[in-house]
Amino acid sequence: MSASVTAVRGPMVWFRGDPFLIAREDAFVHESDGLLICTDGVVTAAGDYTALRDRLPDSLEPVHYPDHVITAGFIDTHIHYVQTGIIAAFGSQLIDWLNHYTFVEEQRFSDPAYARTVASSFCDELLRNGTTTALTFCAVYPESVDALFAEASRRNMRMAAGKVLMDRNAPDALLDTAQSGHDDSKALLERWHGKGRNLYAITPRFAPTSTPAQLEAAGALRREHPEALMHTHVSENTGEISWVRSLFPERAGYLDVYDHYGLLGRGTVLAHGVHLTGRERDRCSETGTAISHCPTSNLFLGSGLFHVHDAKDSKRPVHVGLGTDIGAGTSFSLLATMNEAYKVAELCNYPLDSVKAFYLATLGSAQAMGIEDRVGSLEPGHEADFVVLDPRATPLLAQRTSRVSDIEELLFVLAVMGDDRTVRATYVAGTLAHDRDVVTAD
């Protein structure tokens, strides 16, 4: 069988390293007229068009996106697909919001048909926003996991997900047990992890909704399957931290609960981390544990400001990616999320420039999930997930981008003003998966 080859041409940006930690010229790549060649879903060449055009197969004309920006597909390191339906639910504080909206909505996912419907619209929404990989919570019901992985597989997306583990402090209809949670998660992991592009994540909701026995079972599952990811929440809200302290008085702090049960390490992504102490950030750095920065959610629920500059301190850097945290988050767009991350950083007296923001949404998020060898960059050998951004998507955006002086200013304008309309096209494994300008019949 002959190889499937895709090629696109246009201005390109991507990352080879972390611009928080190394020189920008070593971390950031910009090709003003680039060529990307993909074979069987993998990048085989990326660079200057003139230098690479002779490597194109005979008669293959690259899809040309002049006056656009081609970058690696965006990666969302924290989102709840089962909360898609409650975006913009009036936000009180975290715990009240969970009780009034989240727990009610998640009970609907006991219906496999409903789960399939939401999973389909969720995947479509990701692609419409240029997101090619997401790390997502499902519901407590195994069927909700099956529905999502089936839809992601149909689109050949690299998706990471897991069944929520929750055996206390939630409605009875949403509770499992330490044993059933372990057994269901193990069965799902063995069914889906590594099948196609799917990745399984062991997913305790957060410490207050899991007993010590359940966290112990989660740790045992992680030891049995170190190839799986681990995904939960930490230190989002000050009231939550106090609650954890009351439930686990023997532990040194919130992070120490997860540490005690063997849940930290490479491939662990902790959502929020707004109120982590310096000692806790040190421990994240020591273990390779990552934080998902979710600025739209943190602002919406009034949880606080995440200090990205503290997390990326070169003396003990922590892996950080961006997360939309739908449905407390207010947009599927990682461009909109970059916009809010910039504002949060400004309030913390740390200017977050466009290069660092785009890094957080691509290679930084891949590194947070421990999959930087597969996605997050246009470097040869990576899976060919990429997005084409349109600097003229709206009249105002066209007016503003016509005045930029360099690629960094252009990226900044896209981050501040961009949304789903800015995403001209999304490619998954080298195949066009979303085209903004093509209307499809239902």
SS3 of the chain: the string is CCCCEEEEEEEEEEECCCCCCCCHHHHEEEEEEEEEEEECCEEEEEEEHHHHHHHCCCCCCCEECCCCEEEECEEEEEEEHHHHHHCCCCCCCHHHHHHHHHHHHHHHHHCHHHHHHHHHHHHHHHHHCCEEEEEEECCCCHHHHHHHHHHHHHHCCEEEEECEECCCCCCHHHCCCHHHHHHHHHHHHHHHCCCCCEEEEEEECCHHHCCHHHHHHHHHHHHHCCCCEEEEEECCCHHHHHHHHHHCCCCCCHHHHHHHCCCCCCCEEEEECCCCCHHHHHHHHHHCCEEEECHHHHHHCCCCCCCHHHHCCCCCCCEEEECCCCCCCCCCCHHHHHHHHHHHHHHCCCCCCHHHHHHHHCHHHHHHHCCCCCCCCCCCCCECCEEEECCCCCHHHHHHHCCCCCHHHHHHHHHHHCCHHHEEEEEECCEEEEECCCCCCC
Identify the pLDDT of residue 1.
Answer: 64
pLDDT tens-place values along the chain, 442 residues long: 678 999 999 999 999 999 999 999 999 999 999 999 999 999 999 999 999 999 999 889 999 999 999 999 999 999 999 999 988 888 677 678 787 888 889 999 999 999 999 999 999 999 999 999 999 999 999 999 999 999 999 999 999 999 999 999 999 999 999 999 999 999 999 999 999 999 999 999 999 999 999 999 999 999 999 999 999 999 999 999 999 999 999 999 999 999 999 999 999 999 999 999 999 999 999 999 999 999 999 999 999 999 999 999 999 999 999 999 999 999 999 999 999 999 999 999 999 999 999 999 999 999 999 999 999 999 999 999 999 999 999 999 999 999 999 999 999 999 999 999 999 999 999 999 999 998 765 5
| Fold designation for 74-369 | TIM Barrel (3.20.20)
| Cβ atoms 332, 326 nearer than 8 A | yes
Domain boundaries for CATH 2.30.40.10 within the chain: 5-72+377-435
Identify the pLDDT of residue 440.
Answer: 64
Length of the chain: 442
Identify the pLDDT of residue 3.
Answer: 85
130: its two tokens: 């240029």
Q: With 0.95 as the threshold, say if the pTM is over it.
A: yes
Residue in this structure with the two tokens 């954890």, named with its chain if needed: 244
Identify the pLDDT of residue 2.
Answer: 73
Q: 5-72+377-435 — its CATH code?
A: 2.30.40.10
Domain boundaries for CATH 3.20.20.140 within the chain: 74-369
